[in-house]
Amino acid sequence: MMMAASMASSVGVVQCQALQCAHLHLQTPSWQQERGRGRGSHWRYCRLEFGRNSAESDELLSRLAPVLQRKRNRILLKRISAGGSSDGQKDVSVANSSKGSSGGGSSFLTFLCPLLKLLGGGDPSAPRNTFLETATTGVASLARLPWGSQVLPEAAAARTEAGQPAKPLQLYEFEACPFCRRVREALTELDLSVEIFPCPKGSLRHRESVRSKGGKDQFPFFLDTNTGVSLYESSDIVKYLFKEYGAGRQPSPGLLESTLVTGWVPTLVRAGRGMALFQRAPIQAPEKMLELYSYENNQFARLVREALCELELPYILRNAGKGSSVRPTLLQLAGSTQVPYLVDPNTGVAMAESKDIIAYLFKTYGADSSQPVYE
Ligand SMILES: N[C@@H](CCC(=O)N[C@@H](CS)C(=O)NCC(=O)O)C(=O)O
Condensed to tens digits (0 to 9), the pLDDT of residues 324-367 reads 999 999 999 999 999 999 999 999 999 999 999 999 999 999 86
Mean pLDDT of 265-272: 92
Whether ligand 1 lies within 6 angstroms of the CB of 233 is answered as yes
Is pLDDT of 169 > 90?
Answer: yes
List the residue whose alpha carbon is closest to atom 16 of ligand 1. 105
Q: What's the fold here for domain 108-365?
A: Glutaredoxin (3.40.30)
**Rounded to whole angstroms, how far apart are CA atoms 199 and 139?**
24
Confidence of residue 34 (pLDDT cuts 50, 70, 90): very low
Whether ligand 1 lies within 6 angstroms of the CB of 172 is answered as no
List the residue whose alpha carbon is closest to atom 4 of ligand 1. 219
**What one-character-per-residue DSSP string does 270-318 give?**
TTTTTSB--TT--SS--SS-EEEEE-TT-HHHHHHHHHHHHTT--EEEE
Residue type, 343: V
Is pLDDT of 36 > 70?
Answer: no
Cβ contact 53:47 at 8 Å: no
Atom of ligand 1 nearest to the CA of 259: 19
Percent of the chain with pLDDT over 70: 65
Cβ contact 65:283 at 8 Å: no
pLDDT in tens, 234-258: 999 999 999 999 999 999 878 998 8
Q: Is the pTM of this model over 0.85?
A: no
Nearest Cα residue to 200 out of 147, 140, 273, 133:
273
Candidate of 219, 239, 258, 260 to mutate for ligand 1, largest count of ligand atoms within 8 Å of Cβ = 219
3-state DSSP assignment of residue 221: strand
Cβ contact 71:15 at 8 Å: no
Ranges of each domain in the chain: 2-96, 108-365
Task: Note the pLDDT of residue 85.
Answer: 43
Cβ contact 73:62 at 8 Å: no
3-state DSSP assignment of residue 353: coil
Instruction: Estimate to the nearest angstrom the gap between the alpha carbon of 117 and the chain centroid.
Output: 19
Burial class for 221, CB neighbours closer than 10 Å (0-12, 13-18, 19+): buried
Whether ligand 1 lies within 6 angstroms of the CB of 176 is answered as no
Nearest Cα residue to 341 out of 297, 305, 287, 289:
305
CA of 203 to the centre of ligand 1 (A): 15
**What one-character-per-residue DSSP string does 87-138 give?**
EEEEEEEEEE----------SHHHHHHHHHIIIII--TTS---HHHHHHHHH
3-state DSSP assignment of residue 263: coil
For residue 340, cis peptide bond before it (omega within 30 degrees of 0): yes
**Rounded to whole angstroms, how far apart are CA atoms 54 and 8?**
8
Burial class for 265, CB neighbours closer than 10 Å (0-12, 13-18, 19+): middle
